[in-house]
Chains A and B, each alone.
Chain A
Amino acid sequence: MSKNIKFLGLLLSLIIIFIILLKGLNVSKDYSNEKLKSKIDFSLNAKKLFSDEIINISDLFDKNSPSVVNIWASWCAPCREEHQFLMKLKDMNINIIGINYKDTPKNAKNFLSSIGNPYSEVITDNDGTKSIEFGAIGVPETFIISGKTNEIIKKYIGPLTSENLIEIKKLLKKNV
């Protein structure tokens, strides 16, 4: 009898684990940039890199024009590579919000002071959780967020390229 109970218990927990992992498999499916149409969770709080002040994420976005969110780190080589494109976007007066992923404030500030700061605001993400909230899987990643609906309209995994830049410019014009 006790053997049967052991067996059933084990079986039941196995089934539960199976279902959870199966669900987990579907959760992480929405990484493809085409289908992604989710909104941003504006209830998130984060610390600013330069002032250590804690703010609500919604304050960073301009309600009337689209914004770009870029996840980066000073230790990430591809981030340096795409940096030039972000600088070009900055020159077009686009609101770029940086999320500094798993980095030390000192290194992050060094990075920005030495190669230029394209961001209108940088928030820190020491443990990587905020980036995960955005659905990011690594660094660098870039999101385009529409001003009117606050939806993520496009997502780029990996460093931006010059083709991406052209595409982003078009998208931003459309969504003004």
Chain B
Amino acid sequence: MSNYLGNYSLYIALIASVYLIFKSYFDANSENKYLDKNFILITSIQTIMITVGFFSLVAAFVISDFSNETVFNNSHTLKPLFYKVSGTWGNHEGSLLLWLLVLSIFLFIFLLNSKSQDTKYKLLTVLFQQIIISGFLVFILLTSNPFKTLYPIPTEGLGLNPILQDPALAIHPPILYLGYVGTSIIFSASLASMISGNIGDKWARHIKKWVLVSWVFLTIGILLGSIWAYYELGWGGFWFWDPVENVSLMPWFCLTALLHTVIVLQKRNSFKEWTIILSITTFSLSMSGTFLVRSGILNSIHTFANDPSRGLYILSFLFILILMSILIFFYNQNKISNTAKENFILSKETAILVNNWFMMFFLSVVLVGTIYPIFLEVLNGSKISVGPPFYHNLLIPFLIPFLIFMSFGPSLKWIKDKLKKFNYNILVIFLVSLLISYVILTKTKNSFLLSIPLIVLSIYLLLVTIKDFFVSKSSISQKISHFGFSLLITSILLNGLFSYEFNSNMKVGDERIFNEKVVKLKEVNVTDVDNYKSLKASFEVSNKNSAFALYPEVRIYQQPLTITSEADIKTTLFSDNFLVFNILKDDGYYNVRYQYKPLMIWIWISTIFISLGGLLSVIKKNEQKY
């Protein structure tokens, strides 16, 4: 039943899409001043149909309707309700349906929110957005229909990978998609404004909200993915430079650059072409992400589908979109009125330009690391694997100039700033940060020459951003985001410098001593829980002053047979104590890994600060003082 409902609603949505493409194309060429009432109507019908389609899949998951192939492959009657629902988007077909749902809802919100905009511009945005929507609809219906039926109906499903049964991962894809899909509106709107020639401060104010919204969702989405990797994968790290992770980071760099550039467009009416290029690139990167993840072209542990026809479709669709945008860009380039004013070297514009250079550099490094192995394999058949050292060696040294720029760039004035007389505040802050870094660095043995300027500068930037809360005139949202960023860099650096771990085989009653820490395995309890068997160990970790208990767990799932390790993590404001264990042979020994990770929680908190700044900026109606 829900299969038919879902299937037909998607077909109706496709018809609506085709209608809207033609209608908006012809209306945009006529001189109509007002938007045809049918527009809102048809768009709402389409949004409702796609919503119906999505929820009929959710319903099929909830009632475990195994006549549906997607449900059969990814669900199981024993699964808790929460994970049945999140199972809807935990697979290829369902996640595309979610993409589509967000696409259409965003377009609908866009139409409601842009009443004051020029009609032609709105029509063209609808046109481009509908081209994307129809592309996804055809893709879903042709290659990955989530409503394929099975006969005879199986009695039990194949289950969902237990690694994916985690609250952070259940909400991670939807949030990330909100970010990805938000960039589609930016893409469509920038192409539309290119044709209708309304790029300027007014347009910038209008599109800035979408940039901020996508950026906030993308930031939180990446954060959730990272939290999942840290708590669930049990490897004790928060970022692995896996291609699938990189794919979400690349649009983030681009969007961060765009976020700053749009402000220049809004305040100074310049950087017009650059804003458009960034908008197109951001969306292309989000789409490429979908291509790389969904086509199985990457050699990654988290690759999902290995169906080349899907890859071919997304690849062609992606290139048609890019080609279309390049054509539009070159064809309409002369419509952009050149209002660029004289730029002085010492000004906020230049500072933002420098920020953009850095973002583009970071983006290129990650892009090369992710794509180059594919290219090389095709070109000369050699296979390489790009690991964390590549990214660390290329990115970390460049953090030094980046941190320097970030410490003074945001406080520069628009148009032209003067070199002030020597500022004693800055000197005092710098000396304080030198002192703090000295104290910190004497405590570690494994410091390199590179880590000295990095620590000094990151602490300096942290202090400067704190000082800015009291002194600077810039907006509160910017202060919070920049403070969050400096906190993030400081936490990551200190975390990397002070982390340590040990690995050992222990049996019940054993004790191991490492770095003045005593780890003792007290007991292991075996119990049967819902859909898995649980082995819960009780450890005691103690040093001279304190002692605490940790209870890591090993879960043995039956559907399908999988063993997962749930780390137990004791989190305090200063450090995380991470303990994970694994079953060895039946001789009573367990493999135990203990990790000490300082300031772990601050990596999450600082990322929340970063997105909080963006969120405040979205909520605030008129941000005049900047």
Contacts and interface: CB of A to CB of B under 8 A. Distances in A.
Interface string A51-94: 00000000000000000000000110110110000000000000
Nearest to B334: A3
Contacts of A25: 295, 297, 308, 311-312, 315
Interface SS of chain A: helix
Contact of B584 (A3, A21, A77, A115): A115
B40 to A, nearest CB: 36
A25 B333 CA distance: 34
Contacts of B374: 20-21, 24
Given A21-B315, A28-B297, A133 B564 contact: no
B306 interface: yes
How many chain B residues sit at the interface, stated as a range, is 35 or more
Contacts of A102: 387
B235 interface: yes
A16 B591 CA distance: 49
A20 B326 contact: no
A80 B234 CA distance: 15
Nearest to A25: B311
Interface stretch (B94-102, B110-118, B375-383, B433-441): B375-383
A71 to B, nearest CB: 12
Nearest to B373: A132
Contact of A7 (B330, B383, B564, B584): B330
B561 A10 contact: no
Interface string A142-175: 0000000000000000000100000000000000
Contacts of A22: 312, 315
B323 to A, nearest CB: 7
Interface string A101-117: 01000110011001110
A114 B589 contact: yes
A12 B563 CA distance: 49
B503 interface: yes
B326 A10 contact: yes
A24 B591 contact: no
B562 interface: yes
A124 B303 CA distance: 24
Contacts of A77: 562-565, 582
Contacts of A116: 585
A7 B297 contact: no
B375 A20 contact: yes
Contacts of B582: 77, 80
A11 interface: yes
Nearest to A23: B378
A129 B385 CA distance: 6
A73 B378 CA distance: 28
Contacts of A24: 297, 374-375, 377-378
Contacts, number: 98
A42 interface: no
A79 B308 CA distance: 28
B578 to A, nearest CB: 14
- Most chain B CB within a 10 A radius of its CB, from A7, A102, A114: A114
Interface SS of chain B: mixed
B460 to A, nearest CB: 35
Contact of A26 (B306, B308, B375): B308
A34 interface: no
A20 B380 CA distance: 11
A27 interface: yes
A67 to B, nearest CB: 22
A75 B235 contact: yes
Given A14-B326, A78-B562, A106-B503, A111 B312 contact: no
A4 to B, nearest CB: 8
Given A7-B330, A25-B311, 13 more contacts: A6-B330, A18-B315, A22-B315, A29-B306, A74-B591, A77-B562, A78-B563, A81-B561, A127-B385, A128-B385, A137-B300, A137-B303, A161-B561
B285 to A, nearest CB: 13
B162 to A, nearest CB: 10
Nearest to B384: A129
B585 A114 contact: yes
A107 B503 contact: yes
A153 B30 CA distance: 65
Contacts of A20: 374-375, 378-379
Nearest to B315: A21
Interface string B138-163: 00000000000000000000000000
B322 interface: yes
Interface string B483-505: 00000000000000000000111
Nearest to B301: A138
Contacts of B306: 28-29, 31
A139 B299 CA distance: 11
B135 interface: no
Given A25-B315, A80-B583, A137-B303, A111 B333 contact: no
A118 to B, nearest CB: 12
Interface string B406-448: 0000000000000000000000000000000000000000000
A170 B564 CA distance: 31
B296 interface: yes
B548 interface: no
5 contacts: A25-B308, A27-B377, A77-B562, A114-B585, A114-B589
B319 interface: yes
Contact of A11 (B326, B387, B561): B326
Contacts of B565: 77
Contacts of B300: 137-138
Interface string B524-542: 0000000000000000000
B591 A114 contact: yes
B563 A81 contact: yes
Nearest to A134: B383
Nearest to B589: A114
Contacts of B301: 138-139
A111 B591 contact: yes
B326 A7 contact: yes
A138 B385 CA distance: 12
